[in-house]
Amino acid sequence: MRDEKIIDLYWERNEQAIKHTDEKYGKYLSKIAYNILADKEDSNESVNDTYLAAWNSMPPQRPTALSAYLGKITRQISIDIFRKRNREKRKGSEFAVSYDELNDILSAGDLTEEQVQAKLLGEAINRFLSDQPKEVRNLFIGRYYFLDPLKEAARYCGMSEGKAKSILYRTRCMLKEYLQKEGFEI
Amino acid sequence: MNAEKLHDALNYLDDSMILETDRLRHKKKKTVIFRRFVSVAACICIVATTVFGIGHMRSIKENSPLDENFETSQNNGDIPPAPENSQSTENQPPAPDNSDPSYNPAPPTDESAPEKDPEQDENSESAEESAPADEWVPDEESAPAEEMPPLEEDPPAEEAPPTEDSSSDEKDEPEWRIHKLVVKVTHITEDGFKGYVRNENNIYGINEYVTVISNEREKPEIGGMVDVYFYEYDGYTVYAERIFVVKE
């Protein structure tokens, strides 16, 4: 089924939308989630949360690229699960408890500002990547957005693992310089 | 700023860039699968070609050139079927003896033998090379090279065994066609036997007396019938490739 029809089903509040989404993008989303969480159960949980988030966000959202839209949701949910999991691991440590408490103070009430900052940072990265050669851009996005293993990213970018590693290192250095020029504190 | 914030920021990447990379991820995977398929298919082709080649070579070795040529000539209908056992010895004239004055095989003389043609000699030499060397050994005494009948153009002498039909056939047909004779044995020699021709063929007439030179281990009995397959003849001397003793 085409993306437009799936989105129409979401807008019609038809539950078949989730079924068709799972049929078409289930594996794609699971791959993204698994790259972050490295756990099958957590990945399935993340994908299911993605469907719920999509159900809640459409309408009013009407994404032009459904795969990218769902991928972003899955990625963010998976990162949140990853952070939560790490926090639970640190529960036994008093340092971890104090770290979380202080972190809560620092970020309390600044959720909107954080989102704005993240959006500004994302736009800066967009501009930086737009100026990069296609090969570098694809490798960077494959490695740091899709979180594919270095070997796999190098393979589908058509280069050796060593070359991919050096390209990524140079790109990170260039991104750091670029962000510093743009006024971000690093 | 830390890595977490950078990761959060990456969620604001343009969809177009994400889709471009995603397309590349899937496209490259398919390419790899295709390459694997091609390599596997190439291996299968190599193995299949090798197996087929070995099988073909074995079949060539198993089918000797004699059998193949014989089958070809049989298909062309050039060789008449083997005579039935009705050609019993009772109906045949008595076997002549060398001492019998009535026996006159009229062997080819030097006068009747055509002059040697160097080209023909070359042909015959090359033909000898193509024939299996282990099958028979020509006897120089019984078949001198000077008495070789003409293979082409020059019509055979009157005493020469090939008939007019056979000479015309020789012009049109390949030189090394397999021939078959049915011979009634009258004498056993060291390197073969002698006897009368009992079947119609393009080279010898019925009841013509021939000397068959063969290195076959199985020797026929005097008075018995023998199927003789041969490539070459020299006057009345047949250089047999193979003989089959017809056991009644």
Report pLDDT for B99: 43
Nearest residue of A to residue B31, measured between CA atoms: A156
Tell whether B48 and B143 lie within a shared domain.
no
The CA distance from A120 to the nearest CA of chain B, in Å, is 8
Q: Is B9 on the interface with A (CB under 8 A)?
A: yes
Region for B100 from its dihedrals, namely left if φ exceeds 0, alpha if ψ lies in -120 to 50, beta otherwise: beta
Is the residue at B67 inside a domain?
A: no
Interface test with B, best of A83, A115, A121 (most B CBs within 10 A): A121
* Pairs across A and B, CB distance < 8 A: 99
Is the residue at B69 inside a domain?
A: no
Tell whether B221 and B167 lie within a shared domain.
yes
- Which residues on chain A are in Cβ contact (under 8 Å) with B2? none
Is the residue at B77 inside a domain?
A: no
Tell whether B87 and B50 lie within a shared domain.
no
Tell whether B125 and B241 lie within a shared domain.
yes
Is the residue at B78 inside a domain?
A: no
- Mean pLDDT score across all residues of chain A: 84
Is the residue at B70 inside a domain?
A: no
Tell whether B230 and B127 lie within a shared domain.
yes
SS3 content of chain B, % helix, strand, coil (to 5): 40, 15, 45
Interface test with B, best of A61, A76, A126, A151 (most B CBs within 10 A): A126
Question: Could you say which of A119, A134, A144 has the minimum Cβ distance to residue B12?
Answer: A119
Tell whether B173 and B50 lie within a shared domain.
no
ipTM metric: 0.82
- Which residues on chain B are in Cβ contact (under 8 Å) with A118? 5, 8-9, 11-12
Q: pLDDT per residue over A99-132, tens digit each?
A: 666 666 665 555 677 778 888 888 888 898 888 8
- Which residues on chain B are in Cβ contact (under 8 Å) with A65? 15-16, 18-19
Report pLDDT for B64: 55
Question: Could you say which of A79, A83, A184 has the minimum Cβ distance to residue B1?
Answer: A184
Is the residue at B221 inside a domain?
A: yes
Is the residue at B73 inside a domain?
A: no
Per-residue pLDDT of chain B (248 residues; tens, 9 = 90+): 677 788 888 888 888 888 888 888 887 555 556 677 888 899 999 999 999 988 888 888 777 555 555 555 555 554 444 444 444 444 444 444 444 444 444 444 444 444 444 444 444 444 444 333 344 444 444 444 444 444 444 444 444 444 444 444 444 444 456 788 888 899 888 888 899 988 887 778 888 888 888 877 777 888 888 888 887 777 778 888 788 887 65
Tell whether B22 and B104 lie within a shared domain.
no
Report pLDDT for A97: 66
Using pLDDT thresholds of 50, 70 and 90, give the confidence band for residue A91. low
Structural domains in chain B (count):
2
The arithmetic mean of pLDDT across residues A163-173, rounded, is 89
Tell whether B104 and B134 lie within a shared domain.
yes
Report pLDDT for B158: 41
Tell whether B23 and B126 lie within a shared domain.
no
Report pLDDT for A109: 54
* Residues in contact with B222: Cβ distance below 8 Å, sequence separation at least 6, in sequence order: B95, B185, B186, B187, B188
The arithmetic mean of pLDDT across residues A72-88, rounded, is 86
Q: What is the domain range of residue B37?
A: 3-62
Tell whether B103 and B212 lie within a shared domain.
yes
The CA distance from B36 to the nearest CA of chain A, in Å, is 14
Q: pLDDT per residue over A32-79, tens digit each?
A: 999 888 888 888 999 999 999 989 888 888 888 888 899 989 998 998
SS3 label, residue B244 = strand
Tell whether B17 and B115 lie within a shared domain.
no
Tell whether B205 and B120 lie within a shared domain.
yes
Is the residue at B74 inside a domain?
A: no
Report pLDDT for B6: 83
- Which residues on chain A are in Cβ contact (under 8 Å) with B16? 65
Question: Could you say which of B9, B24, B32 has the minimum Cβ distance to residue A121?
Answer: B9
The CA distance from B37 to the nearest CA of chain A, in Å, is 17
CB within 8 Å: B28 and A156: yes
Report pLDDT for A103: 67
Domains of chain A: 3-89 (1.10.1740.10), 109-181 (1.10.10.10)
User: Residue A142: is its pLDDT beyond 80?
Assistant: yes
Report pLDDT for B230: 81
The CA distance from A56 to the nearest CA of chain B, in Å, is 19
